[in-house]
Structure formats: C-alpha cells, structure tokens
Structure 1
Amino acid sequence: MSLTLYDAFVPSCQQILGGMAGVIDKAEAHCGESGCEASELIEAKLADNMWNLPWHVRSVWAHSAYVISLLPTGEFSPDFTELPQDWDAMRAKLKRTQDELAAVTPEQLEAIADKTIGFVLGGKRLMEFTGQNFLLSFSQPNFYFHATTFYDILRMKGVPLGKRDYLGTPRIIG
C-alpha cells in the first residue's frame, strides 16, 4: 500500500489539532481550579523572544489548512493577522482549521504534489519547493513545532498535562 501526500499530512494534523483542543480545555479548567488568571497563561512564552499561545494557535492553522489553500497559487506567505485572544477564540480557530482540513481531498493534494511553490516573506520569494516537499519539509515541521510549543508553555505554567493530551486520539484499529 502506498502512502499518499494526503495520508502523510492531513490525518496527523487533525490528530494533533484535536489534542490541542483538549489542552485548551485543561488550561481553562486549571485557571478556574488554581485561581490563575487566563491572561497569565495566554500571554505566556517559553522565552522573552518567543511567541505566546495565540501565535502558536494561528501558526498551526497557517501550516496546515491555510498552506493547503495557497498551494494552488504557487506561493505561500505567512499570515500575520487574526490572533485568537481567549480560550473560546482559540477553540474556534482550531475548529475552523479542522473543518478546512476535513474538506481537503487526497486528489487535491496529489494535484499539487509536483507543482512549484515559493515561500514569500516581505514580498521576496526566498525559497522554492515542490508542493510535496513544502508540506513535508517546511509546513509539517513548523506545524509540530508550534503545537509542541503551545503544549510546552502550558505545561511550564503548571497545567497538568501529559503526552496523551498532546497526542490527541490516535488512529487505532477497532
């Protein structure tokens, strides 16, 4: 059985996004139980020169559903708008991402697998990839980086999380 680009990318993104939604629920519950202000968690960063939780939520969208929507254009430029500023907005962004990924078909991704896509930043085309290589060697690592950092920030701030929270629901037999 061969693995399609869709199989290598979309289901794993959906799994981790589901885990992130559960992590948000635990973070919000932690605030209620510990008396911690939501803003203390939402604005937290791993280091002063890194991004906060809203940035990471937007970034998992950008490196999954958003990039797939841009692949047919031949250019990807990061989206620096619309940061979800509270738990409900983060949940909504993750739900929107899940809905957009649910609409993607294997045929759509196979159609762009060999198409050239440029990474554009500040109006400059910095790198070129095939669609497949862009997804698997650029977007997918970025997706996991931002999902992991989101988890790590909350874990660092005392939210009781474990690896199973991060993983979401694995695709098991039966």
Structure 2
Amino acid sequence: MGFNIYEASAPVFIHSLRNMSAWLDKASAEKAESDLIDARLAPDMRPLSSQFQMASDTAKNAIGRLCGIDAPAMPDTEASFAELKERCARTIAFIESVQPGAFENAETRAVELKFPNGMGYQFTGSAYLTGFALPNFFFHVTTAYAILRANGVTVGKPDFLQHLGMPKSL
C-alpha cells in the first residue's frame, strides 16, 4: 500500500496538536497564563486562544470532510490553557476514532467550503487536503508557536517537531 490521504492527514494533525498541547505546559511553567492567552502577533490578528481553536477546527473538519462524516462541534469558549489542552485532546480523540478505512476514496471525494458571504471553494479531497487544510492548519499552528516565542516562552524547533523524539546516531 502506498502513501495515502490517511497518512498525509490524521497522523500529521495528531502530532502537531500534541506538540501544541505540550507548548502550553512549557508556557505555564515560564509565564503568567493571563499574559499569554490573549496575546497576538499584530493588532489585527487573532489571539493565542483562537489560534488553538482554529488549528483544532481545521484538523477535525478536514477529517470529517475527507471521510464524509460530521466532525464534532466545539464552541470557541476556551479561556485557559487547561481548556485549550482539553480541546486538543478532544480533537485528537475524534481523529483517532476515525478508522483508516474511512478514508477510502477520500482523494476524489468532492469537498465544498461555503463561507457566510456566499463565496467558497470546490475541491477534490486531495486538492482540499494539500491546497487548503494542511496550509491553513500549519498557519494557525505556526502562529500559536510564534505568539508564544514572541512573548518569551522558550519554545524552539525541537518543540515544534517534538513528535520525532531525540535524533539518533546513524
């Protein structure tokens, strides 16, 4: 079996959401939560809490759209690190509950995104994953990382890639 939509989506989302959850542990050990939860990179950007919410939404909705199932609704009410960590955990649990077989024919599944203004996009599953879902997901993951880093949390590339573990001698 070759590389497929499941392998390109579910594990990628899970690894990054686990990494993000760990960043909050590091942040809470180093800084006051109240100084970070609403921090932004720029005045017109969404705060840290929203970056976690949007990463979660992108991951769970992508899995739902690719498999033709409903993703769980999660209102954006998280206002603490503990609540954001719980949201990451619920998103991971949903993704893990979807069996790889559910991704059969996901590459060609029609995916339609409709925005409130009536505009939107139509994709095949593979184009949706590679052209929209993954870039959007990593925009929010990277923005969350950058907010923490810009506010003095000592996250680095090993934190962004911590799912790989320590490098080994080759």
Give the TM-score range, shorter chain.
Answer: 0.7 to 0.9
- With normalisation by structure 1, the TM-score equals 0.85
Which position in structure 1 is the counterpart of 2:79? 85
Cα pair 1:21 1:94 within 8 Å, conserved: yes
Which position in structure 1 is the counterpart of 2:16? 16
Which position in structure 1 is the counterpart of 2:56? 61
The runs of at least 4 aligned residues of structure 1 exceeding 4 Å deviation read: 171-174
Shift of 1:173: 10
Computed over aligned residues only, the root mean square deviation of the Cα atoms, in angstroms, reads 2.5
Shift of 1:147: 0.6
Deviations 1:17-60 (A, max 9, x none): 111111000011112xxxxx322111100000001111111111
Partner AA of 1:20 in structure 2: M
Consecutive unaligned residues in structure 2, runs of 5 or more: none
Deviations 1:138-174 (A, max 9, x none): 0111111101110110000001111111113128999
Q: Name which of 153, 160, 169 aligns with 2:147.
A: 153
Which position in structure 2 is the counterpart of 1:120? 114
Consecutive unaligned residues in structure 1, runs of 5 or more: 32-36
- With normalisation by structure 2, the TM-score equals 0.87
Mark the CA change 1:45 to 1:173 in structure 2 (over 3 Å): closer, same or farther: closer
Mark the CA change 1:127 to 1:108 in structure 2 (over 3 Å): closer, same or farther: same
Q: Counterparts of 2:162 and 2:142 in 1: how far apart (Å)?
A: 12
Mark the CA change 1:127 to 1:147 in structure 2 (over 3 Å): closer, same or farther: same
Which position in structure 2 is the counterpart of 1:97? 91
Q: How many residues align?
A: 166
Deviations 1:62-104 (A, max 9, x none): 111223224426x99xx89423110100000000111111112
Which position in structure 2 is the counterpart of 1:166? 160
Mark the CA change 1:125 to 1:108 in structure 2 (over 3 Å): closer, same or farther: farther
Which moves more between the two structures, 50-59 or 164-173?
Answer: 164-173
